[in-house]
Structure 1
Amino acid sequence: MKLRSVNEIELPAAFDAHVHLRDGEMSQLVTPTIRRGGVNQVYVMPNLVPPITTIQQCLEYRDRLKAIDPSVDYLMSLYLHESITPEVIREAKKAGITGVKSYPAGVTTNSSSGVVDYATFYPVFAEMEKQNMVLNLHGEVPSTPTHAPSSTTTKDDVPTPAITILNAEPAFLPTFKALHERFPNLRIILEHCSTAAALAAVRACGPTVAGTITAHHLSLIIDDWAGDPFCFCKPVAKTPEDRDALLKAVVSSQGRFFLGTDSAPHDSRKKRGEDKIAAGVFTQPYAVGLVLDALEKGVERGVLAEGDVSQEVLEGFLGGWGRGFYGAEETRGERIVLKRGGEDIVDVLRKDGVSVDVVPFRRGEQTWSVSWK
């Protein structure tokens, strides 16, 4: 396939392995946009307020989502919390819950109840391994407090650099590797990889480990979010070299990486009208089109060759590889048709009767349109 010369592409409906659908009014606004983006199956994040830490909360949340759009298949997760025990894991498996999401305490939106010490959860991880459940890792460590020294010294007199949003992901990778070594049969996903180092860490692990890549990290670099709050997310976009490594991983991973948009809606006032900018990029209504645009730009810059973006790669990255890792069959057999430049990205997503609104990624631009067969 020569992507730059193709105006129409037919694909199986996509699977998005990482979405934030929120709750209440925000959920009413964003959940109906899943299918607009070419997706009919999603893995839903549990970082609500309060977080989804019980089976009952999880199933009730799924029911609320189904009531909004029953034509989407919602795979559900629990929030890794001190109340999660091996018994909870066994019951969650019976209830059809797919996995558990780990947030290091304080690194991103609604993560204040997150993990401080992973060793505390070793019995939980052991039971997840037995139950063949997925552990989803937000792969960052908290930033060093601003009043702390710029570096610290370990017991071996080796200086350790202070943690910022730029090195928070690489600093987490030793923990990620250690978890895989201790639980080699536990299915682990390193979420929203943003660096070449994260990609290498996933590749160095066994076949029970995979990584997700977002649509926006395939396009953004540091300069983009530094000047635009609507491009600011956690983990932040990194260097051009990191972005290009992500593009290459899409076409060469043979299933080790797949789409997880991490589409994260915030009311527009929290992105530009408060003291702190909320972390999150909203891509849901345009998910598949944004990936195609990023790959095409990669070809134009010479990062990818024309032949790299094949039908097989698109079907795998956008759905097949993620479904395979999760064991999530797409039973409807739905297909989508994408047409070049047929979709105008709105400046602001609004809905009658809903008081919140969201500014999408690449507002005011064009992308591929999606129609359903």
Structure 2
Amino acid sequence: MDRLTIRRPDDWHLHLRDGAMLSLVAPLSADMGRALVMPNLVPPVVTGAQAAAYRDRIVAAGFARPLMTVYLTEGTDPADLIAAHAAGIVTAVKLYPAGATTNSGSGVQRFDAIRPVLEAMEEHGIPLCVHGEVTDPDIDVFDREAAFIDRRLMPMRDAHPDLKITMEHITTVDAAAFVRETGIGATITVQHLMANRNDMLAGGMRPHFYCLPILKRRRHQEALRTLATSGATNVFLGTDSAPHPTHVKEAACCAAGCLTAPIALAAYAQVFDEEGALDCFEGFASLNGPAHYGLPPNEDRVTLHRGDPIAALPALERGETVVTPFDPGRPIRWHVEGNGGC
């Protein structure tokens, strides 16, 4: 198969930032119909009114169909969430363990404190998106996801069996097994399907591969590729595309995140092609996510074709803002028609 037409995909995990960075990166996700936009701004998006204002800024910046999230804190007002979700302003709520990743300092430290919010979300059908890592200093950074499943996610699921949960950007054999066994929703990123920690560390540290959760061993990468391409209906596309200024990535203590949006759809198609699973690609990219969130799939189509490898993309600039797109360091031969060769 050298040509593939599917319903237009959605991105169920996207960072767009704000201000100049927002205006630079928002148009990069034009291949996607909708995108679930993360709320970890500074300060974070914590109310329905703030989510509505941020949505307006995103649309003005060039992405037409953002789906908004609210940042869960220990002071979140359940009534505000219920009203914002009922009004169609907020699609989901994002849980960051405090200190787990970029701009997560306002996240949850005391999980008992958010029980009333989770109970309200469960009752009113408001989905929860989870950054699945513990931040305990005694846990190795490569083991944080597995520890989160045992210490936080399993008890949360037992306490709130009707809460719709998405475990975002899963990275391990442990998470793949948990998702298979429980049927909870899960997203998988471009970089975790296309790379492992050798790509980031062997022969020198490559900061543009650094993200959180961090890339793991090859066996974890292989488990993710198997799950993504298996036809499982609870696993779907979520890039976690996360822009940082180049000087912040190429620093002594570099920021976590990979700007994958410009190549995301082509890269996912490349993975499914390599795994002999192009017949499962539309489900992963276009159907499973809407079904999980109770939305209809997009009606319009997008076409991809196989051709010469995509050239590495140059740095993107808008005024003083410079961002380096992710380069997997291996050929991507699939192209989205009408996307400038990507």
Indicate the TM-score class for this superposition, using the shorter chain for normalisation. over 0.9
Tell me whether 1:214 sits opposite 2:189 in the alignment: yes
Pair 1:334 & 2:296 matched: no
Q: Which residue of the partner structure matches residue 225 of structure 2?
A: 247
Structure 1 position 356, deviation (Å):
1.0
Q: Does 1:30 align with 2:25?
A: yes
- Give the deviation of 1:294 after TM superposition: 2.4
In 1, the alpha carbon distance for the partners of 2:135 and 2:160 equals 24
Determine if contact 1:41/1:75 at 8 Å carries over to the other structure: yes
Residue identity opposite 1:339 in structure 2: H
**How far apart are the structure 1 equivalents of 2:27 and 2:175?**
32
Q: How many residues are matched?
A: 332
Structure 1 equivalent of residue 216 of structure 2: 238
| 8 Å CA contact 2:231, 2:284 repeated in 1 | no
Q: In 2 relative to 1, CA 55–42 (structure 1 residues): closer, same or farther, beyond 3 Å?
A: same
TM-score of the aligned structures, taking structure 2 as reference length: 0.92
SS in 1 for 2:316: coil
Per-residue deviation, 1:330: 3.9
Q: 1: distance between equivalents of 2:246 and 2:116?
A: 41
Deviations 1:244-274 (A, max 9, x none): 10011012252121111100111100011x3
Give distance in 1, aligned partners of 2:121 and 2:228: 28
Alignment of 1:226-305 (within 5 A): 226=201, 227-272=205-250, 274-297=251-274, 299=275
Query: How far 1:362 sits from its partner (Å)?
Result: 1.2
**Amino acid in the other structure paired with 1:213:** I
In structure 2, how many angstroms separate the alpha carbons of the residues matched to 1:367 and 1:61?
Answer: 35
**Corresponding letter in the other structure for 1:165:** V
Structure index of larger Rg = 1
Corresponding residue for 2:322?
357
Spell out, residue by residue over 1:80-105, the C-alpha distance to the aligned partner (whole angstroms, 9 max, x if none): 01231221221121231111101111
Distance 1:164 1:94 in 2: 40
| TM-superposition CA deviations, 1:14-72 (whole Å, max 9, x none) | 1110000110011111100101xx312110000000000011110000001111225x3
Q: 1:85 & 1:363 partners in 2: Cα distance?
A: 41
* CA distance in structure 1 between the aligned counterparts of 2:269 and 2:303, rounded to whole angstroms: 13
Cα deviation 1:215-269 (Å, max 9, x = unaligned): 1100111111222100000001111111010011012252121111100111100
After TM superposition, the score normalised by the length of structure 1 is 0.85
SS at structure 2 position matched to 1:189 = strand
Could you tell me how far apart the structure 1 residues matched to 2:200 and 2:136 are? 18
**Cα pair distance change 1:350/1:369, threshold 3 Å:** farther
Corresponding position: 1:194 with 2:171 = yes
What's the CA shift for 1:344?
A: 2.9
Question: Greater relative contact order: 1 or 2 (C-alpha under 8 angstroms, separation 6 or more)?
Answer: 1
Q: What is aligned with 1:151?
A: none
Q: Which runs of 5+ in 2 are unaligned?
A: none
Secondary structure of 1:350's counterpart equals strand
Moved more, 40-49 or 362-371: 362-371
Aligned to 1:167: 143
Task: Tell me, in whole angstroms, the C-alpha distance in 2 between the residues paired with 1:229 and 1:112.
Answer: 22
Kindly provide the amino acid, as one letter, of the partner of residue 355 in structure 1. Answer: E
Q: 1:344 to 1:211 in 2, by over 3 A?
A: same
Q: Given that residues 107 and 143 in structure 1 are in contact (C-alpha distance below 8 angstroms), is that contact kept between their aligned partners in structure 2?
A: no
Across the aligned residues of Structure 1 and Structure 2, the Cα RMSD in angstroms comes to 1.8
> Which amino acid counterpart does residue 350 of structure 1 have in structure 2?
E
Q: Which amino acid aligns with 1:91?
A: A
Give how far 1:366 is off. Answer: 4.7
Residues 17 and 270 of structure 1: CA distance in aligned 2, closer, same or farther (over 3 Å): same
Aligned to 2:6: 11
Aligned to 2:290: 323
1:78 match? 70
What is the percentage of aligned positions where both structures have the same residue?
36
What is the rounded CA distance, in whole Å, between the counterparts of 1:326 and 1:358 in structure 2? 31
**Which AA in structure 1 matches 2:165?**
I
Letter aligned with residue 171 of structure 1: A
Secondary structure of residue in 2 paired with 1:234: coil
C-alpha distance after superposition, 1:93-144 (max 9, x if no partner)? 1231111101111110000111101111111001101111111110001151
Q: Structure 2: how far apart are the matches of 1:345 and 1:95?
A: 42
Distance, in Å, in 2 between the alignment partners of 1:82 and 1:122 is 9
Q: Answer yes or no: is the 8 Å Cα contact 1:340–1:368 preserved in 2.
A: yes
Amino acid at match of 1:19: L
> Is 1:139 aligned to 2:155, yes or no?
no
Point out where structure 1 has 5 or more consecutive residues left out of the alignment. Answer: 1-5, 145-161, 300-305
Find 1:109's aligned residue among 99, 102, 110.
102
Could you tell me which of 329, 335, 345 is aligned with 2:312? 345
